């Protein structure tokens, strides 16, 4: 992720790669030399002087010597480059002209054209290329142009497949749908939205196919089935091979030319791929994950908090109707003003934050600071966070995206993404400092002492293992149960979390169960080793609301059964009201207000808390109320 304002272009990134840059220079030199052959050669490539056969390199007038017919090798190499490169280019152009449009049409429209063209591509690819070329030569005569034309057809599935796949990927993007609804013609959609995405893969594929065309062409000529009346690298190879005992060095020059060109093309292709990867196909998805997603390093390091502030330059005055008193209008303060009230507000009933850790708490966090990166680019995402959670207590950690709530949770778990670390403060779990513990001992603690429930249940189950083994393996490791006992315990747990047919779910793969079921399975896994502290990161956000109610009920039951301390990270005040005993509200990496749940909802003190509570729609006015209020407002 670049922090500079100026977006790096693909070309910049390509040129910054020394290997790719070197390869590009080599290729450029070869192309230029071939193009300038008449100037550089100094001799006629076809002029034969038998007297001068097999002159050594650096002979007078023949910088690379001469071949068996006394022709100048340097001149033949340069003119041969013209023929060989143009031949390969011809194959490439033919392949592109057939493959790219076919791929675009098949990918975009699908249906019968897709089926037919896939079938054709398979047919072409299953034909042995060399045999086809040999047959064509027998019928049509030895012309490099004809054989490269045919070879272009044989190569076209290479383009076709790459383009088709890329188009199918992008076809489902919402912005293509939006363009359709905007009334764009298909040709405009393909030109504007689709071609930009497939451009990268096409360029990469072209550099690879050009190399293949050159190699095959030279191979054919080496076998002696080319047109040996023209100078080309393949023909020179054939020549050199025939006189390998008399003058082995004549074999070196064409081999070098072919080898260097092919290698340069492959390296350029790889370099292009690396350079394009930064902003290719998936950039939209990556962005989304950064911004909305859970706790990725990317999100934390992004100036997400600034974004939130920047976002709403619009006035925040919301003429809402208070349900308790119809005449009263709540006008909340603009977010920007909150910057001037940074004083955190602490509790009526929870005593003011004690500087010393609370020994009676299961978890006691003091002045926690989490930072990313180092040096001038470092960024602190959690500032001076202090909180306590006691056994049997549920603490809600509430905030919007970028507030640092998930980062706090991950710091406690010792699972901060790469680049993140606790830069200050202490985390005491059962009286023991966690911030200084080794990775290995943290791993020991997770699962048994501290358990975790993630936001996205599906992405936290390994798709290639059955649910049962993912549940029972940790219990075998951690609790030392044998296989049968672990299975029995896992089935009990599945039954406990409300799964109707535990046996069937136990033997299912994750894709065979629903999101709600998957979350129940993860909850079962989290409580399987009877942890003292459970950290749930937005455990119901990805679920339907009716499923959410059931999962919350389950969490409440398990929590009171096992006397667990729970930290529930959420953005939903309804969930907080439902399950939490105490609440900490986070904004821009700090806790701005901490209180027991009844008092916080009854008397929110910090303006930010008030703003958040004012934004919840649940139990708020309906559209009819709003329209009535607007009409009254207009009358006055």
Partner 1 sequence: MSEQLLSVDKLGVDFTRRRTTFTALEEITFSIAEGETVGLVGESGSGKTTIGRSILGLVPPTRGTLTFRGEDITHASRAKRRELSRDMQVVFQDPYTSLNPSLTIEGILAEPLRAQGIDRREAGRRVKELLDRVRLPSDAAGRLPREFSGGQRQRVAIARALALRPRLIVCDEPVSALDLTTQQRVLDLFIEIQRDTGCAYLFVSHDLSVIRHVSHRVIVLNRGKIVESGGVEKVTSDPDDPYTQRLMMSAPLPDPGAQRERREELEKLRVDSERAA
Q: What are phi and psi of 269, to 5 degrees?
A: -55, -45
Site for partner 1 in 576-595 (CB under 8 A): 576-578
> Using CB under 8 A, which of 325, 339, 482, 618 touches partner 1?
618
173 binds partner 1 (CB under 8 A): yes
180 binds partner 1 (CB under 8 A): yes
181 contacts partner 1 (rule: CB under 8 A)? yes
| Site stretch for partner 1 (CB under 8 A), options 87-95, 377-385, 477-485, 616-624 | 616-624
Q: Binding residue for partner 1 (CB under 8 A) from 28, 116, 185, 374?
A: 185
- Tell me how far, at minimum, the Cβ of 401 lies from partner 1, in Å: 6
Paired residues of 429 in beta bridges? 363, 432
Residue placing its CB nearer to partner 1 in the complex, 173 or 430: 173
Among 111, 500, 623, 636, indicate the residue that binds partner 1 (CB under 8 A).
623
Q: Smaller CB distance to partner 1: residue 223 or 284?
A: 284
Binding region for partner 1 (CB under 8 A) out of 159-167, 266-274, 303-311, 445-453: 303-311
Compute the chain's Rg from CA coordinates: 35
1 binds partner 1 (CB under 8 A): no
Give me the least distance between CB of 572 and partner 1, in Å please.
7
Helix, strand or coil, per DSSP, at residue 102: helix
The stretch among 98-106, 192-200, 382-390, 451-459 that binds partner 1 (CB under 8 A) is 192-200
Q: Please report whether residue 423 would count as binding partner 1 according to CB under 8 A.
A: no
Contact call for residue 35 and partner 1 (CB under 8 A): no
- Does position 312 interact with partner 1 (CB under 8 A)? The reply is yes
When binding is defined by CB under 8 A, the residue of 73, 104, 179, 412 that contacts partner 1 is 179
State how far the alpha carbon of 543 is from the alpha carbons of 15, 486, 549, 551, in Å.
46, 28, 10, 9
Restricted to residues 323-382, the positions that interact with partner 1 (CB under 8 A) are 335
Among 279, 383, 437, 628, the residue binding partner 1 under the rule CB under 8 A is 279
Q: Are 510 and 522 in contact (CB under 8 A)?
A: no
Nearest distance, CB of residue 542 and partner 1, angstroms:
10
What are the structure tokens assigned to 42, written together?
């100094």
User: Is residue 101 close enough to count as binding partner 1 by CB under 8 A?
Assistant: no
Q: Does 86 bind partner 1 (CB under 8 A)?
A: no
Residue 533 binding partner 1, by CB under 8 A: no
**Shortest separation between residue 451's beta carbon and partner 1, angstroms:** 23
Considering only residues 445 through 504, tell me which ones interact with partner 1, judged by CB under 8 A. Answer: none
The string of DSSP letters for 330-353 reads: E-PPPGGGGGG----EE-SSSPSP
Q: Which residue in 39, 174, 352, 440 binds partner 1 (CB under 8 A)? A: 174
Q: At what angle do helices 439-448 and 467-479 cross, to 10 degrees?
A: 110
Q: d(Cα 420, Cα 407) in Å, to the nearest integer?
A: 9
Total number of residues binding partner 1 (CB under 8 A)? 74
Q: In what order do the strands lie in the sheet with 432-433?
A: 379-389, 363-372, 420-429, 432-433
**Which region among 107-115, 129-137, 172-180, 210-218 touches partner 1 (by CB under 8 A)?**
172-180
Closest CA to 231 of 346, 378, 83, 122: 83
Q: Which of residues 228-267 bind partner 1 (CB under 8 A)?
A: none
Q: Which of 110, 392, 498, 574 binds partner 1 (CB under 8 A)?
A: 574
Rounded distance, CA 447 to CA 528, Å? 8
Q: Which is nearer to partner 1, 105 or 179 (CB)?
A: 179
Query: Which positions from 55 through 74 interact with partner 1, judged by CB under 8 A?
Result: none
> Which region, judged by CB under 8 A, interacts with partner 1, from 114-122, 173-181, 227-235, 431-439?
173-181
Question: Under rule CB under 8 A, which residues in 534-573 are in contact with partner 1?
Answer: 544-546, 548-549, 552-553, 571-573
Nearer of residues 307 and 433 to partner 1, judged by Cβ: 307
Find out whether 367 and 426 touch, Cβ atoms under 8 Å.
yes
DSSP annotation string for 220-242 = HHHTT-S-TTS--HHHHHHHHHH
Residues 6+ apart with CB under 8 A from 577: 597, 601
**Which residues are CB-neighbours of 251 under 8 A, at least 6 positions away?**
237, 240, 241, 244
Q: Verify binding: residue 630, partner 1, rule CB under 8 A.
A: yes
Nearest to 515 by CA among 450, 473, 454: 454
Give the largest CA-CA distance in the chain: 113
Burial class (CB in 10 A: 0-12, 13-18, 19+), 498: middle
**Shortest distance, position 165 Cβ to partner 1, whole Å:** 18
Choice from 311, 339, 356, 632 touching partner 1 (CB under 8 A):
311
Query: Whole-number minimum distance, CB 197 to partner 1, in Å?
Result: 8
Determine how β-strand 379-389 pairs with β-strand 363-372.
Answer: antiparallel
Which 594-613 positions form the footprint of partner 1 (CB under 8 A)? 597-598, 601, 611-613
Backbone angles phi, psi at 429, to 5 degrees: -115, 115
**Burial degree of 327 (CB within 10 A; 0-12, 13-18, 19+):** exposed
Show the DSSP H helices in 416-511 as ranges. Answer: 439-448, 467-479, 483-496, 502-506
């Amino acid at each position: 992720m670049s922090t500079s304002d100026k977006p790096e272009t693909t070309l910049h990134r390509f040129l910054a790669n020394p290997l790719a840059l070197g390869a590009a220079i080599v290729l450029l030199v070869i192309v230029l030399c071939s193009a300038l052959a008449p100037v550089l050669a100094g001799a006629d490539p076809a002029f034969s002087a038998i007297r001068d056969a097999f002159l050594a390199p650096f002979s007078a007038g023949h910088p690379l010597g001469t071949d068996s017919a006394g022709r100048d090798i340097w001149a033949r190499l340069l003119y041969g480059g013209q023929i060989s490169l143009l031949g390969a280019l011809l194959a490439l152009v033919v392949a592109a002209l057939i493959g790219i449009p076919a791929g675009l049409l098949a990918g975009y429209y699908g249906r019968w054209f897709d089926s037919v063209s896939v079938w054709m591509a398979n047919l072409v690819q299953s034909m042995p290329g060399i045999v086809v070329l040999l047959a064509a030569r027998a019928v049509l005569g030895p012309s490099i142009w004809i054989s490269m034309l045919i070879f272009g057809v044989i190569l076209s599935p290479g383009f076709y497949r790459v383009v088709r796949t890329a188009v199918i990927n992008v076809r489902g993007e919402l912005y293509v749908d939006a363009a359709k609804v905007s009334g764009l013609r298909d040709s405009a959609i393909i030109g504007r939205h689709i071609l930009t995405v497939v451009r990268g893969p096409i360029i990469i594929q072209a550099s690879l196919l050009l190399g293949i065309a050159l190699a095959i062409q030279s191979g054919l000529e080496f076998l002696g089935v080319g047109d040996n009346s023209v100078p080309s690298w393949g023909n020179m190879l054939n020549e050199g091979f025939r006189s390998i005992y008399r003058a082995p060095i004549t074999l070196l020059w064409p081999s070098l030319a072919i080898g260097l060109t092919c290698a340069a093309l492959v390296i350029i292709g790889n370099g292009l791929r690396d350079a394009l990867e930064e902003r290719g196909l998936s950039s939209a998805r990556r962005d989304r994950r950064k911004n909305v997603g859970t706790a990725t390093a990317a999100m934390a390091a992004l100036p997400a908090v600034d974004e939130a502030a920047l976002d709403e330059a619009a006035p925040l005055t919301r003429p809402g109707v208070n349900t308790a008193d119809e005449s009263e209008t709540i006008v909340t303060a603009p977010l920007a003003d909150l910057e001037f009230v940074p004083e955190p507000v602490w509790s009526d009933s929870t005593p003011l934050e004690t500087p010393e850790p609370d020994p009676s708490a299961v978890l006691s966090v003091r002045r926690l600071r989490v930072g990313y990166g180092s040096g001038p680019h470092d960024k602190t995402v959690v500032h001076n966070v202090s909180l306590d959670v006691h056994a049997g207590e549920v603490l809600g950690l509430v905030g919007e995206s970028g507030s640092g709530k998930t980062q706090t949770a991950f710091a406690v778990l010792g699972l901060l993404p790469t680049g993140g670390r606790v830069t200050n403060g202490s985390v005491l779990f059962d009286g023991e400092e966690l911030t200084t513990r080794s990775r290995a001992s943290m791993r020991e603690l997770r699962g048994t002492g501290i358990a975790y429930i993630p936001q996205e249940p599906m992405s936290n189950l390994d798709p290639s293992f059955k649910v049962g083994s993912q549940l029972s393996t940790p219990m075998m490791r951690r609790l030392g149960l044998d296989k049968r006992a672990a299975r029995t315990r896992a089935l009990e747990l599945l039954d406990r979390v409300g799964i109707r047919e535990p046996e069937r779910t136990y033997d299912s793969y994750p894709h065979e169960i629903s999101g709600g079921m998957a979350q129940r399975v993860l909850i079962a896994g989290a409580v399987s080793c009877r942890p003292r502290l459970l950290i749930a990161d937005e455990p119901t956000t990805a679920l339907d609301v009716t499923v959410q109610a059931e999962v919350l009920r389950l969490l409440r039951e398990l929590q009171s059964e096992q006397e667990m301390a729970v930290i529930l990270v959420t953005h939903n005040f309804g969930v907080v009201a439902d399950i939490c005993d105490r609440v900490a509200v986070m904004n821009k990496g700090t806790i701005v207000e901490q209180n027991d749940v009844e008092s916080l909802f009854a008397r929110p003190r910090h303006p930010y808390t008030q703003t958040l509570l004012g934004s919840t729609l649940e139990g708020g006015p309906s559209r009819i109320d709003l329209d009535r209020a607007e009409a009254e407002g207009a009358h006055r």
